[in-house]
Amino acid sequence: MVSPAIAFAFIPLLLTLIIRYRFYFVLFYRAVLVRIWKDCVTGLSREERAFQYVLTHATPGDTDSILDAFDSWCSKVEYISNIGPKKGKILDRLLMEQSPLTVLELGAHCGYSTVRIARALPLGARLYSVEMDQGNAAIAEKIIRLAGFDDDTVELIVNPSDEVIPRLRSDYQLERLDFVFMDHWKKCYLPDLQLLESYGLLGKGSMIVADNVLFPGAPKFLRYLRKCGLYEWKIHRATLEYSKGIRDGMAELIYQGIK
């Protein structure tokens, strides 16, 4: 048995930890505990619940309305790790500056970032969006079409990224990618970037934007950027989407070619 005196001695330490990491406790509650409970109660996936909310709160064909509905749901109802409005504005600006014609998205999830990217593209551009989870891809497909984008603008590819990238040239006739957005499994950032390099899909000036490189983090990816010398790069610091007090950031890379 632990004596009361020893137990009381740990109370200040426990309070200190709770205060210091309170934002992470809140995130765990919203992202994990609430999700498990609502999965059981509703019989629907979190992504299906988000789609139902968007469907009843957004105007079809109005991309701003669809994104606002997503942001409202993620902020006030349940948590989903979309890029969100704050980091989304950075992505919007980079897309406007680049005006890319051929874009690859790795990690469509439920279609939020897909819609955000597609609405910023110039006329004649095409977005190839990759999502490995079939359930999430089904939701993303509905969101993309709800926003008014057809197959000529957005093509959704349902397969793991490491299987899709080697086939982009042969199956999709892609010679070069102007812009790549990474927001899938963080452990895949580095191997997928190296696949893009090895298959010659990046040209001088191609831009890659990778979300969540500080939290949950992609340390191997960042170490590679520091050492490889193939990119001009920087981190856009921000906070984690739909959260307070958790530091995060997006990496912006511009490919310089093999030196």
**Residue 1: inside a domain:** no
Q: At residue 21, does pLDDT exceed 80? A: no
- pLDDT tens figures, 34-45: 999 999 999 999
CATH of the domain at 110: 3.40.50.150
Q: Regarding predicted confidence, which is higher, 74 or 26? A: 74
Show which of 76, 97, 113 is a domain's final residue. 76
Is the same domain home to 71 and 116? no
Q: How confident is the model at residue 244 (pLDDT cuts 50, 70, 90)?
A: confident
> ∠181-138-129 over CA atoms, to 5°?
20
Is the same domain home to 161 and 120? yes
pLDDT (average), residues 79-106: 96
**Residue 41: inside a domain:** yes
For residue 19, the model assigns a pLDDT of 66
**Residue 94: inside a domain:** yes
**Residue 8: inside a domain:** no
Is the same domain home to 32 and 152? no
**Residue 2: inside a domain:** no
Show which of 76, 100, 123 is a domain's final residue. 76
Query: 106: buried, middle or exposed (CB in 10 Å: 19+, 13-18, 0-12)?
Result: buried
Is the same domain home to 123 and 65? no
Is the same domain home to 67 and 121? no
- pLDDT tens figures, 103-137: 999 999 999 999 999 999 999 999 999 999 999 99
- Boundaries of domain holding 25: 17-76
Is the same domain home to 124 and 213? yes
Is the same domain home to 44 and 102? no
Answer yes or no: pTM beyond 0.95: no
Is the same domain home to 47 and 69? yes
Q: How confident is the model at residue 2 (pLDDT cuts 50, 70, 90)?
A: very low
DSSP conformational letter for 217 = I
**Residue 173: inside a domain:** yes
For residue 35, the model assigns a pLDDT of 93
Nearest to 196 by CA among 172, 167, 223: 167
Is the same domain home to 56 and 150? no
Is the same domain home to 36 and 90? no
Question: What's the domain count of the chain?
Answer: 2
Name the percent of the chain lying above pLDDT 70: 92
**Residue 3: inside a domain:** no
Tell whether the torsion through CA atoms of 183, 187, 190 and 195 is positive or negative: negative
Q: Do the beta carbons of residue 80 and residue 46 sit within 8 Å?
A: yes
Show which of 30, 59, 76 is a domain's final residue. 76
- Mean pLDDT value across the chain: 92
pLDDT (average), residues 72-79: 94
For residue 14, the model assigns a pLDDT of 58
Is the same domain home to 183 and 110? yes
Q: At residue 66, does pLDDT exceed 90? A: yes
Is the same domain home to 117 and 162? yes
**Residue 7: inside a domain:** no
The residues that are catalytic are 183, 186, 211-212, 241
- pLDDT tens figures, 143-194: 999 999 999 999 999 999 999 999 999 999 999 999 999 999 999 999 999 9
Q: Do the beta carbons of residue 157 and residue 130 sit within 8 Å?
A: yes
